[in-house]
Structure 1
């Protein structure tokens, strides 16, 4: 009996060790890879929604007017069924709306394209079959297609967790695979969340995880790794951002109990500032000279930093899953449990806060000084971005739930929602707009 218990004790240790297995990250420099940044390759995608948080990577939809009211029928231009599950938010480039999705039963991770004019499916490409993480390695709210796709106008880029690795894949606009690149091992605690980031001729992908985190930059045309740097062995979930702050381009990411800045051309660290929490989910937002981040788990904090990482102010509030917005001299955020905040970007003072309804996972967008954000019950709140108090414009019900964030192009709003019928959940892609906004930009 003692030997029996001893064997089970050893098995328990081995299982625990397997859960926390670390894998050393093989760092790659641009000198070693021979792949340098091409400054001339910077497509203009300002008239679309090419990736996570839109053309400026900050949730702003400029140069258009979006509808503020809709229902299951009013101002709905089209809606189409999306197979499987995913929190991948819509991406809109030219006449295509792009999504990633996952079929858990058959273990398929897929990239799909829909016609922007009528929602009809244009093509579907299976990227991976099999290799899904176990149910214990995925958060109950998560999916196997959390990350939003990226499109540079010629190629589409996806990053999936599969077979214990993060794998990046590129496609042409007809869904044909162009290249595929393994970025590194990934020890999953709750799944994989970050979205790819476009920076000139690079695609940049973060992969923080408890087995050993890393960020990698890939050449857009070949998929070859230009640089790869190591990060702490911590499970955290934020997507990176490249923004010009303090007169230089900075690659910024939160999580691992810090905010860190890197040179996006080389991966070299500029600075890191201890703050926030072990785990964060939201993407950093910036002004010309300031950086704002929030999170997380187990600590809760919202911070304002200078362009060189000096902590300017701190507030004991966490915006965990949704990302935040900056408009003028105000910072806006909605907590997971539905409290909207407005801070002064200069001082960190709370100018107002207002309880909304429900819980939130998706991130807000801003258009014409109006903030749009959907809750997990399928309600989209529209309210004014103003410093002197919360002013609601409308609340619009569509579907039964909404985990993804909206995209906005040419006066049209694109939402990925869940519907319920006969106890069965079905995801849909919905285009909201006024009847005169059906023209697709060339």
Structure 2
């Protein structure tokens, strides 16, 4: 009888190991990391977030947030998680809010003390000291912060207790830091490109031990790791430092790499299944489509400036909001512009796609809702909330979670709003 029992034990162990090596999955009601479950800015299509709101209309709840940050809200189960940096107390923290009421459940201090650069160069005035979006594997929370002249990734449990902290590398501030963690199977993958020489680092989600590490050129860059399934395999595609790089996310081995991106990129790469799309804004403006089979072929390239907001893809077309306040639709196969429309304002927040509707918010707090259709620009709605918005909204379960700042004279106060249709 022992042999079957031993065999069963071995099979059980293998099954458990196989299961633990899968990227966590979540119900449609969760938004577990930057740009959503598909990592491309698409929300679930079978929902009905509001198209009208104001300070007094369709507000489910509103919660004051201490300090400042540009990271998006992350949703897991009954809670909302958000990173912020409070200059008054000199702390960088993770907040947990009740998703139904907006009340603060707990606050976890990740770093305490002076967190601004001690070097000669200060960050861009638009930057914040909490610009990363929290990621989760369902059991832990992962967040990146610049602190003490370096980048650190920290894991917390769901009660706010720090589980581990891993130092990625020294960091020389040029514009700021805002790269968000990416979850892949048993790994959390983070990046820290900078003028001092950066790195892409994969850590074990449970222990924080470094599984693989790739050093990067000594150039400033701000992109987040983007894990895509393209050309029939998982690829970690990273743009910036004058390169477009594809790595095996499990091992860090190079799949392919070409020159072609500009030096500084902020946007998160996406795919149409055949191409990956790079965009950047310094020193060159560009959007380019690269055939992601290792051939190094660039299908097309334009000099369009999509520097900070990430793009969307739907049914063979790219939709984007240019930093300078213009919406544009481009054929993803040819690069031909289908239409352009001036919206107004400046854009740092990325657009979010819900079915055939795009929600795009500018820095002045104006949200433009328009159709994801290549034939023409079709406006659905326009709403204003607050005076300053840099964070990308999270749209989930027919609710919009948006990080907005109001001014009272020179005093700036951030709020997290939950917007939904009134019953």
- TM-score tier, shorter chain, comes to over 0.9
Indicate the residue corresponding to 2:298 in structure 1.
311
Indicate the residue corresponding to 1:187 in structure 2.
172
1:45 & 1:293 partners in 2: Cα distance?
Answer: 30
Indicate the residue corresponding to 2:3 in structure 1.
none
1:233 & 1:36 partners in 2: Cα distance?
Answer: 37
Indicate the residue corresponding to 1:92 in structure 2.
75
2:24 & 2:365 partners in 1: Cα distance?
Answer: 36
2:329 & 2:390 partners in 1: Cα distance?
Answer: 23
Indicate the residue corresponding to 2:36 in structure 1.
54
Please tell me whether residue 253 in structure 1 is matched to residue 257 in structure 2: no
Q: What 5-or-longer segments of structure 1 have no aligned partner?
A: 1-34, 437-442
Go from structure 1 to structure 2 and tell me whether the alpha carbon gap of 1:131 and 1:423 turns closer, same or farther (over 3 Å shift): closer
Q: What 5-or-longer segments of structure 2 have no aligned partner?
A: 1-16
Which of 324, 329, 337 in structure 1 is aligned with 2:324? 337
SS in 1 for 2:111: strand
Alignment of 1:301-380 (within 5 A): 301-308=286-293, 309-380=296-367
Indicate the residue corresponding to 1:72 in structure 2.
55
Shift of 1:45: 4.8
CA RMSD of aligned residues (A): 1.6
SS in 2 for 1:352: strand
Alignment of 1:403-418 (within 5 A): 403-418=390-405
Alignment of 1:32-431 (within 5 A): 38-40=20-22, 42-62=24-44, 63-134=46-117, 136-308=121-293, 309-431=296-418
Contact persistence 1:167–1:180 (CA under 8 A): yes
Taking structure 1 as the reference length, what is the TM-score of the superposition?
A: 0.88
Shift of 1:41: 5.3
SS in 1 for 2:287: strand
Contact persistence 2:23–2:183 (CA under 8 A): no
| Matched pairs, number | 402
Shift of 1:131: 4.1
1:70-117 alpha-carbon deviations (Å, 9 max, x no partner): 111111100010000100111111111111000124321010011100
Shift of 1:213: 1.5
Contact persistence 1:131–1:164 (CA under 8 A): no
Go from structure 1 to structure 2 and tell me whether the alpha carbon gap of 1:203 and 1:354 turns closer, same or farther (over 3 Å shift): same
Go from structure 1 to structure 2 and tell me whether the alpha carbon gap of 1:247 and 1:92 turns closer, same or farther (over 3 Å shift): same
Contact persistence 1:50–1:150 (CA under 8 A): yes
1:49 & 1:73 partners in 2: Cα distance?
Answer: 26
Shift of 1:37: 11
Taking structure 2 as the reference length, what is the TM-score of the superposition?
A: 0.92
1:36 & 1:224 partners in 2: Cα distance?
Answer: 20
Contact persistence 2:391–2:403 (CA under 8 A): yes
Shift of 1:344: 0.3
1:273 & 1:131 partners in 2: Cα distance?
Answer: 39
Contact persistence 2:202–2:210 (CA under 8 A): yes
1:376 & 1:195 partners in 2: Cα distance?
Answer: 20
Contact persistence 2:245–2:256 (CA under 8 A): yes
1:335-387 alpha-carbon deviations (Å, 9 max, x no partner): 11101111101100011111111001010100011110111111111000000
Alignment of 1:11-22 (within 5 A): none
1:181-212 alpha-carbon deviations (Å, 9 max, x no partner): 11111122122110000111110001101101
Contact persistence 2:23–2:184 (CA under 8 A): no
